[in-house]
Chain A
Amino acid sequence: MTDADDLRERVDTLLAEHPPETTERLDFLRARFDAGLAWVHFPEGLGGLGLARGLQTAVEKQLFAAGAPNNNPWRIGIGLGMAAPTILMFGTEEQKQRYLRPLWCGEEVWCQLFSEPGAGSDLAGLATRAVLDNDTWIVNGQKVWTSSAHIADRAILVARTDPDQPKHAGLSYFLVDMHDPGVEVRPLRQITGEAEFNEVFLTDVRIPDSDRVGDVGAGWQVANGTLMNERVAIGGGAFPREFGMIGKVAETWRTRPELRTPGTHERLLELWVESEVARLTGTRLRQKLAAGTPGPEGSAMKLTFARLNQELSALEVELLGDDGLRYGDWAMTRPEIVDFTGKDAGYRYLRSKGNSIEGGTSEILRNVVSERILGLPSEHRVDKDIPWKDLPR
């Protein structure tokens, strides 16, 4: 029996033993996790079956067709895309057992405490300190650009554990309880008027040493594994034709013939082609990933995705003419889910500006591509061998 046949049978069994129409949502999700059908490429006992990543698609389709509830993946994207692969790759057995199931089932929402006001592209220069007191780390510092922090139960954190080491060597990686009394979350209002991100202030936050991921001082290597996954999550994936921003513009084009001009027509067709090609590139990348693990190729995908979102949303504002001058709503809200293609054209135009900044700026990603894929020389890094505490700032 092939893996695909075996999977189909396992899904049938799950559905028979836990009929979606009579089973509580959370009970069903837990049963699905325990059946190894959460993410089939994860190991047995941790929600998977140790199979190829590409086999997941069929499981999702079969469950969707049966009306099974899902784990609301958009709400727990950081947990699924970043925390989970990191815990799997670098975590202890206890950490995997404790965290992966509630993460996948959506019982615990995760956020990411990486960026700081003084450490954006130069993430390794971050200043949040973690000091060991017996078997507990005491953490102080400020993080920023934290989406979901206001609804999060747990966080992944990179903090400085040894300021006498050069910046990359003195970092460690932790799992944080966002309900710790030392954690304060404040909304960060952005260009669109809303606050999808937060500032997070950490004051004497206590983390047991058992919630450290990887060795003390290995935080940079662990974080890099996480970031690779983030870029794949942003740039790769299986999408239908006209998914995302191009679909919005194409819909406007089809429903508003009075707006059409020869100039916008040519631009639309060029961007339609580029969007379709980007989609095919994502498909090919996913076919590659089905057999292996994420590498720096996701960085190139993200570059393209950011540029296309920006050009398409800009075109749509122009195409709309008078209506392009309207803006839906400047009210300060704190959304739980971010949809780059949501709301109106003006919102999309403004929100897409972040696409070339978040998750690695396009400039940094070009460095990543040229150095790690193309093998060109690294940027001069005058700070990389100096103890972090001696760096000019």
Chain B
Amino acid sequence: MTDTPHIELGLLPDDVEQDLRASVRKALARHATPERLNALYDGTDEVSGPLWSAFTELGLAGLLVPEALGGAGASAREAAAVLEEIGRAAAPSPYLTSSVVATTALVALGDTTILPLLGSGEQTAALLVRPTALRHGPAALTTVGLPADVLLLPEGDALYAVRGATTTPVASLDMTRPLAEVHLDGAERTLVSDDAAAAIDRALLTGAGLLAAEQVGLARWSLETTIAYLKERRQFGRVVGGFQALKHRLADLYAAVEQADAAARYAAATLAADDPDAPVAVAVAASFCSEVAVHAAEEAVQLHGGLGMTWEHPAHLHLKRAKADQLLLGTPESHRQALAGLVDLPA
């Protein structure tokens, strides 16, 4: 039997989190409207800039940056609350890639030059790894969270800061999280650390663990939106939400979303407390929440009927985001395989 964490971590939101959540939700409602998100697919981005400015004003970019470097010195719990709201809105934001993943790597390495720029929101950074990377591995051609001012490029155990790389945006399944091909020829690179492997792994672990919170947000939006619709939509002379076939699907979905919420909260709590159970907690949350988010978004499309297939209804935005998120920072299967080693259940 594997060890049970002996200290029980709190899994309920506190007042600070509730306040933070409310202000993030307000900013998202103002800037990340479904019309503007749809326009991303047609090549017009009127969301990212204003939203990032609003986030910066709220101090979100520096949540995980130490206070000594001008940040808030907050924990993964607060970052998880921000990401859950981003997920609800399916909003484009460099928050995960810059303010969580890149920031975590740089904090772990004791950086003092790039972090102040990231914490103020003046610049953004992205760790140059394969989008589906679970662990520190060879650099590849595409990254996520672009555009970024600074690319953090792992080479062997070293980490370089790259500026001035050429990036070519590509059409992606989920246009709310832009992908690009990166060409490093002629770019200027400076060494951040020649011993960065552990920091990069920590950053990817944190990213995967907190992406689970975004997935909970996606799932909760899908559930709530679908329930609201099924309470209004009438066929056969009655509200369709009264049909047992639909009620039972929603009951199961509710149970799954509540479970995903508990899993994501536990992952964030272990990361915040630097608890040794964090790798298990993250593997559990990442594999579970990504599947629940996809399932919830798929249920939303199906249970909205024809409306769910339209461009006009935002269900498609959440489905695309959920499906792309499922692969991001490790597929569910790769997280489960990692778990097999962690909890002594070898193949």
Determine if chain A interacts with chain B: yes
A-to-B contact residues, CB < 8 Å: 238, 240-242, 247, 250-251, 253-254, 260, 262, 265-266, 268-270, 272-274, 276-278, 280-281, 283-284, 287-288, 297, 300-301, 303-304, 363, 365-367, 369-371, 373-379
Are A374 and B251 in touch, CB under 8 angstroms?
yes
Given A300-B251, A374-B251: A280 and B231 interface contact (C-beta under 8 Å): no
A252 to chain B, nearest CB (A): 11
30 CB contacts below 8 A, A to B, read A240-B1, A241-B4, A253-B345, A254-B344, A265-B345, A266-B336, A269-B336, A269-B339, A269-B345, A273-B283, A273-B287, A273-B288, A276-B263, A276-B284, A277-B288, A280-B266, A283-B262, A283-B266, A284-B262, A287-B11, A301-B255, A303-B251, A370-B250, A374-B227, A374-B251, A374-B254, A376-B230, A376-B242, A376-B246, A377-B238
Are A300 and B255 in touch, CB under 8 angstroms?
yes
Are B263 and A280 in touch, CB under 8 angstroms?
yes
Once bound together, how far apart are the Cα atoms of A370 and B231, in whole Å?
Answer: 11
Q: Across the two chains, which residue of chain A brings its CB closest to B267? A: A280
B-to-A contact residues, CB < 8 Å: 1-5, 8, 10-12, 227, 230-231, 238-239, 241-242, 244, 246-248, 250-252, 254-255, 258-263, 265-266, 280, 283-284, 287-288, 333, 336-337, 339-340, 343-347
Once bound together, how far apart are the Cα atoms of A268 and B3, in whole Å?
Answer: 18
Once bound together, how far apart are the Cα atoms of A270 and B345, in whole Å?
Answer: 12
Once bound together, how far apart are the Cα atoms of A340 and B239, in whole Å?
Answer: 40
- Chain B residues near A370: list those with CB within 8 A: 247-248, 250-251, 254
Given A269-B336, A284-B11: A367 and B247 interface contact (C-beta under 8 Å): yes
Are A376 and B8 in touch, CB under 8 angstroms?
no
Q: A254-B344, A277-B259, A379-B242 are in contact. List 19 more A-B contacts (CB 8 A).
A: A242-B2, A273-B283, A277-B262, A280-B284, A283-B11, A284-B261, A284-B265, A300-B254, A366-B248, A367-B251, A370-B247, A374-B247, A376-B241, A376-B246, A376-B250, A377-B238, A377-B241, A378-B242, A379-B244
CB-based closest 10 A-B pairs: A377-B242, A370-B247, A369-B251, A366-B251, A284-B11, A240-B4, A269-B336, A300-B255, A366-B248, A281-B262
Are A254 and B252 in touch, CB under 8 angstroms?
no
Are A303 and B252 in touch, CB under 8 angstroms?
yes
Q: Across the two chains, which residue of chain B brings its CB closest to A261? A: B347
Once bound together, how far apart are the Cα atoms of A268 and B336, in whole Å?
Answer: 10
- Chain B residues near A270: list those with CB within 8 A: 336
Once bound together, how far apart are the Cα atoms of A283 and B12, in whole Å?
Answer: 10
Once bound together, how far apart are the Cα atoms of A241 and B5, in whole Å?
Answer: 8
Are A250 and B231 in touch, CB under 8 angstroms?
no
- Chain A residues near B265: list those with CB within 8 A: 280, 284
- Chain A residues near B248: list those with CB within 8 A: 363, 366-367, 370
- Chain B residues near A241: list those with CB within 8 A: 1-5
Once bound together, how far apart are the Cα atoms of A67 and B283, in whole Å?
Answer: 38
Are A304 and B340 in touch, CB under 8 angstroms?
no
Are A273 and B247 in touch, CB under 8 angstroms?
no
- Chain B residues near A277: list those with CB within 8 A: 259-260, 262-263, 284, 288
Residues of B contacting A: mostly: helix
- Chain B residues near A363: list those with CB within 8 A: 248
A272 touches which of B244, B333, B343 (Cβ 8 Å):
B343
Are A268 and B345 in touch, CB under 8 angstroms?
yes
Q: Across the two chains, which residue of chain B brings its CB closest to A54? A: B8
A376 touches which of B1, B3, B227, B261 (Cβ 8 Å):
B227
Q: Across the two chains, which residue of chain A brings its CB closest to B230? A: A376
A304 to chain B, nearest CB (A): 6
What total of A-B pairs shows CB separation below 8 Å? 133
Once bound together, how far apart are the Cα atoms of A269 and B335, in whole Å?
Answer: 10
Once bound together, how far apart are the Cα atoms of A272 and B246, in whole Å?
Answer: 28
- Chain A residues near B259: list those with CB within 8 A: 274, 277-278, 280-281, 304
- Chain A residues near B227: list those with CB within 8 A: 374-376
A283 to chain B, nearest CB (A): 6
Once bound together, how far apart are the Cα atoms of A238 and B8, in whole Å?
Answer: 10
- Chain B residues near A367: list those with CB within 8 A: 244, 247-248, 251
A163 to chain B, nearest CB (A): 29
Are A287 and B254 in touch, CB under 8 angstroms?
no
Q: Across the two chains, which residue of chain A brings its CB closest to B5? A: A241
Are A242 and B347 in touch, CB under 8 angstroms?
no
B223 to chain A, nearest CB (A): 9
Q: Across the two chains, which residue of chain B brings its CB closest to A373? A: B254
Q: Across the two chains, which residue of chain B brings its CB closest to A240? A: B4
B75 to chain A, nearest CB (A): 18
Once bound together, how far apart are the Cα atoms of A261 and B333, in whole Å?
Answer: 16
Once bound together, how far apart are the Cα atoms of A371 and B239, in whole Å?
Answer: 13
B241 to chain A, nearest CB (A): 4
- Chain A residues near B283: list those with CB within 8 A: 273
Are A273 and B11 in touch, CB under 8 angstroms?
no
B8 touches which of A262, A266, A283 (Cβ 8 Å):
A283
Are A369 and B254 in touch, CB under 8 angstroms?
yes
Are B11 and A280 in touch, CB under 8 angstroms?
yes
B284 touches which of A262, A273, A371 (Cβ 8 Å):
A273
Once bound together, how far apart are the Cα atoms of A265 and B248, in whole Å?
Answer: 30
Once bound together, how far apart are the Cα atoms of A247 and B343, in whole Å?
Answer: 12
- Chain B residues near A273: list those with CB within 8 A: 283-284, 287-288, 336, 339
A269 touches which of B4, B5, B340 (Cβ 8 Å):
B340
Are A266 and B254 in touch, CB under 8 angstroms?
no
A250 to chain B, nearest CB (A): 6
Are B345 and A272 in touch, CB under 8 angstroms?
yes
Once bound together, how far apart are the Cα atoms of A370 and B284, in whole Å?
Answer: 27
B286 to chain A, nearest CB (A): 10
Once bound together, how far apart are the Cα atoms of A365 and B254, in whole Å?
Answer: 12
Are A287 and B10 in touch, CB under 8 angstroms?
yes
- Chain A residues near B10: list those with CB within 8 A: 287
- Chain B residues near A278: list those with CB within 8 A: 259
- Chain A residues near B347: list those with CB within 8 A: 260, 262, 265
Once bound together, how far apart are the Cα atoms of A170 and B126, in whole Å?
Answer: 68
Are B1 and A247 in touch, CB under 8 angstroms?
yes
Q: Across the two chains, which residue of chain B brings its CB closest to A238? A: B8
Once bound together, how far apart are the Cα atoms of A266 and B251, in whole Å?
Answer: 26
Are A287 and B12 in touch, CB under 8 angstroms?
yes
- Chain A residues near B12: list those with CB within 8 A: 284, 287-288
Q: Across the two chains, which residue of chain B brings its CB closest to A239? A: B4
Are A304 and B244 in touch, CB under 8 angstroms?
no
A54 to chain B, nearest CB (A): 10
Given A277-B262, A300-B255, A303-B255: A254 and B4 interface contact (C-beta under 8 Å): no
Are B1 and A272 in touch, CB under 8 angstroms?
no
B47 to chain A, nearest CB (A): 31
B132 to chain A, nearest CB (A): 18
Given A265-B347, A269-B339, A366-B248: A300 and B242 interface contact (C-beta under 8 Å): no
